[in-house]
């Protein structure tokens, strides 16, 4: 360990990002690394999201680490889409398999991190009263880890149980025989509703905006498919790295407007039968051309009317205010069918808004809905929220909250001007939530690893994004979004619109993972263009990451 008990690197978060950052920087680069994790277990998002029906929308064989052939071969997924328990099992297995736990400190919530310019260190404090110091700080806090509970009047007066899906109690919530209210019909509410409806005496779904959803068609994986996955890693990775969203399927290279209506309908029917996110890839222009998108949106609207027996309920469930996939497109297991059950009621909050929460339930304009349990599936203060709540202070006392007052500024979503030696894994301005997350995470961690390796080789130990690079990139992120239909969903969390007072800035980079990866490579190849790199006196004093002969194979 470097002098004074300092670490080379502190990583915040032990989800997919933090675990891989620890492995890459400790075991491949030979740095001293400690991971601080607020939860009492590893898993990140999947530690917290234990709500009924919680499941990944990426197919399991693509929702895992791909960097290691051994990990890839040894782990066997059981279902097409992995459930939360299975993903937690997987990440715990990875933590053991790579011997990561010895450098992970669980139950440590970071409350503050401050750059100490004189010492050239990040000084980090936890809620538990610990102090840490490190040359580099990696925020691996995820994009969707800051739960958003809307401030609805009377919430504190409710006498029943309240739970947010993203902070679901470990011991679960008793739903059997209860009257359950569910607020929110994003991906989470859409996954949870069918499972809650099966358990509860009654489910009332409070819907503000109707959503498109396509059947997931989840099912156990056959031995043949698993064998195919084991044997075809290279080809699967090739596709995942070539597609804009990092999924293992490519969009059909055809416009929805090029084909005859009957053929188009048949292709949508086939995609509906196959299920999953792939529906979006039925044609190449679903997310870029409004007329093309209309054909997909209309198809799903017709399906909703076919499935939902009560025409009035079907009407309320039919989205009209945004194009399909302009918001994160959910996939479901029997969502629309749930509204055919006798124990399920839909409340359309546009027509019948919530007036207040009462001790007994939720009162909307039309009357009180008596409830025993109230579930908030109301999403997250996405992308910026998890970073802002770390209370970061950079150079010259600049806080992240001040730096991002008008929206996030970041060079490539990786680094923030004014915050030296801080890296954000899948930060705002990177493709992040628009991709299959492990693909984005591996690319970021490997880029950071390469950057630190090359800095060490060049005798450098300080890196900071330049303000002009971040400004240029902000314009590029905006332009990439404008080239798609994504900004047409005015209430989308991609824009920060779900959190009152949050700046309306389109946050993830919509130019595609493949293009983004190439840009990052180019930046590195040009000697870290857009970054200011320097060598501190610490190096000459024999401290810091260069030289660091004490660790690992690459350090000598």
Nearer to ligand NA7, 189 or 474 (CB): 189
Query: Residues 335 to 364: which contact ligand NA7 by CB under 6 A?
Result: 349
Q: Residue 136 is encoded by which pair of tokens? A: 């580099």
> Which residue among 23, 178, 328, 444 contacts ligand NA7 (CB under 6 A)?
328
Q: Does 150 bind ligand NA7 (CB under 6 A)?
A: yes
Neighbours of 306 (CB within 10 A): 10
Q: Fill in the per-residue mask, 23 to 62: x = in contact with ligand NA7 (CB under 6 A), - = not in contact.
A: ----------------------------------------
> Which residue among 7, 378, 393, 426 contacts ligand NA7 (CB under 6 A)?
378
| Residue 147: DSSP 8-state | B
Give the interface segment with ligand NA7, choosing from 372-380, 479-487, 519-527, 542-550 (CB under 6 A).
Answer: 372-380
Nearer to ligand NA7, 185 or 243 (CB): 185
CA torsion angle 509 514 519 521 (round to 10): 130
Give the interface segment with ligand NA7, choosing from 7-15, 101-109, 373-381, 440-448 (CB under 6 A).
Answer: 373-381
**Contact between residue 287 and residue 309 where contact means Cβ atoms under 8 Å apart:** no
- Closest to 336 (Cα-Cα) out of 281, 278, 272: 272
- Closest to 438 (Cα-Cα) out of 174, 56, 26, 155: 56
Nearer to ligand NA7, 32 or 492 (CB): 492
CB of 165 to ligand NA7, least distance (A): 6
Give the interface segment with ligand NA7, choosing from 184-192, 267-275, 332-340, 525-533 (CB under 6 A).
Answer: 184-192
CB of 313 to ligand NA7, least distance (A): 17
Q: Give DSSP secondary structure letters for 9-74.
A: EEEE--SHHHHHHHIIIIIIT---EEEE-SSSSS-THHHH--STT-B-SS-GGGSS--S-HHHHHH
> Which residue among 53, 184, 386, 427 contacts ligand NA7 (CB under 6 A)?
184
Q: Is 132 helix (H, G, I), strand (E, B) or coil?
A: strand
Nearer to ligand NA7, 142 or 394 (CB): 142
CB of 433 to ligand NA7, least distance (A): 6
Q: Does 210 bind ligand NA7 (CB under 6 A)?
A: no
CB of 186 to ligand NA7, least distance (A): 2
Q: Does 193 bind ligand NA7 (CB under 6 A)?
A: no
- Closest to 433 (Cα-Cα) out of 473, 385, 505, 382: 382
**Contact between residue 416 and residue 393 where contact means Cβ atoms under 8 Å apart:** no
Q: Fill in the per-residue mask, 474 to 493: x = in contact with ligand NA7 (CB under 6 A), - = not in contact.
A: -----------------x-x
User: Applying CB under 6 A, what is the total number of residues that bind ligand NA7?
Assistant: 20
* Cα maximum dimension of the chain: 75
Angle between helix 233-242 and helix 223-231 axes, rounded to 10 deg = 80
**Contact between residue 238 and residue 246 where contact means Cβ atoms under 8 Å apart:** no
Q: Give DSSP secondary structure letters for 423-455.
A: EETT-BTBSGGGS-HHHHHHHHHHHHHHHHHHH
Q: Does 144 bind ligand NA7 (CB under 6 A)?
A: yes
Give the interface segment with ligand NA7, choosing from 115-123, 186-194, 363-371, 385-393 (CB under 6 A).
Answer: 186-194
User: In the complex, which residues of this chain contact ligand NA7 (CB under 6 A)?
Assistant: 144, 150, 183-189, 208-209, 328, 349, 377-379, 433, 491, 493, 498
């Amino acid at each position: 360990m470097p002098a004074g008990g300092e670490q080379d690197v502190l990583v915040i978060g032990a989800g997919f990002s933090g675990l891989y950052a620890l492995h890459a920087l400790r075991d491949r680069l030979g740095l001293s690394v400690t991971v601080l994790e607020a939860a009492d277990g590893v898993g990140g998002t999947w530690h917290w999201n234990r709500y009924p029906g919680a499941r990944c929308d990426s197919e399991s064989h693509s929702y895992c680490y791909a960097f290691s052939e051994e990990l890839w071969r040894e782990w066997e997924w059981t279902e097409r889409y992995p459930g939360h328990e299975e993903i937690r099992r997987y990440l715990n297995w990875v933590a053991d398999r790579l011997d990561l736990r010895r450098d992970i400190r669980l139950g440590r919530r970071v409350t503050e991190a401050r750059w100490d310019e004189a010492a050239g260190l990040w000084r980090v404090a936890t809620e538990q009263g610990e102090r840490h110091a490190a040359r580099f700080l990696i925020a691996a806090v995820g994009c969707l880890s800051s739960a958003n509970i809307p401030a609805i009047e009377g919430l504190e007066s409710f006498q029943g149980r309240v739970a947010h899906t993203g902070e679901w109690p470990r011991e679960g919530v008793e739903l059997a025989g209860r009257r359950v209210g569910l607020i929110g019909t994003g991906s989470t509410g859409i996954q949870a509703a069918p499972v809650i409806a099966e358990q509860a005496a009654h489910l009332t779904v409070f819907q503000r905006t109707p959503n498109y959803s396509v059947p997931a068609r989840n099912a156990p994986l056959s031995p043949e498919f698993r064998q195919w996955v084991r044997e075809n890693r290279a080809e699967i990775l090739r596709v995942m790295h070539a597609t804009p969203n990092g999924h293992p399927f490519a969009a059909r290279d055809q416009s929805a407007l090029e084909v005859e209506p009957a053929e188009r309908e048949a292709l949508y029917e086939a995609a509906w039968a196959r299920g999953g996110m792939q529906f979006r890839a039925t044609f190449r222009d679903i997310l870029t051309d409004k007329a093309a998108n209309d054909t997909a949106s209309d198809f799903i609207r017709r399906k909703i009317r076919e499935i939902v027996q009560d025409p009035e309920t079907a009407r309320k469930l039919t989205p009209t205010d945004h194009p399909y996939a302009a918001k994160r497109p959910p996939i479901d297991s029997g969502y629309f069918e749930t509204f055919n059950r006798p124990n399920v009621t839909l409340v359309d909050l546009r027509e019948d808004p919530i007036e207040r929460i009462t001790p007994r339930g939720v009162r909307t304009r039309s009357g009180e809905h008596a409830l025993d349990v109230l579930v908030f599936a109301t999403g997250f203060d996405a992308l910026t929220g998890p970073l802002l709540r770390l209370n970061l202070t950079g150079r010259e006392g600049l806080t992240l909250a001040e730096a991002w007052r008008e929206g996030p500024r970041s060079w490539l979503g990786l680094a923030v001007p004014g915050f030296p030696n801080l890296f954000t894994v899948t930060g705002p301005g990177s493709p992040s939530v628009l991709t299959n997350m492990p693909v984005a995470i591996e690319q970021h961690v490997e880029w950071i690893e390469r950057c630190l390796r090359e800095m060490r080789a060049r005798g450098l130990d300080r890196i900071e994004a330049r303000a002009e690079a971040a400004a240029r990139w902000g314009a590029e992120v905006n332009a990439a979004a404008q080239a798609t239909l994504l900004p047409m969903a005015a209430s989308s969390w991609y824009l920060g619109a779900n959190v009152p007072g949050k700046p309306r800035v389109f946050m993830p980079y919509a130019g595609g993972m493949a293009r983004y990866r190439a840009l990052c490579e180019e930046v590195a190849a040009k000697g870290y263009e857009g970054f200011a790199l320097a060598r501190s006196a610490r190096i000459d004093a024999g401290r810091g990451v260069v030289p660091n002969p004490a660790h690992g194979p690459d350090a000598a």
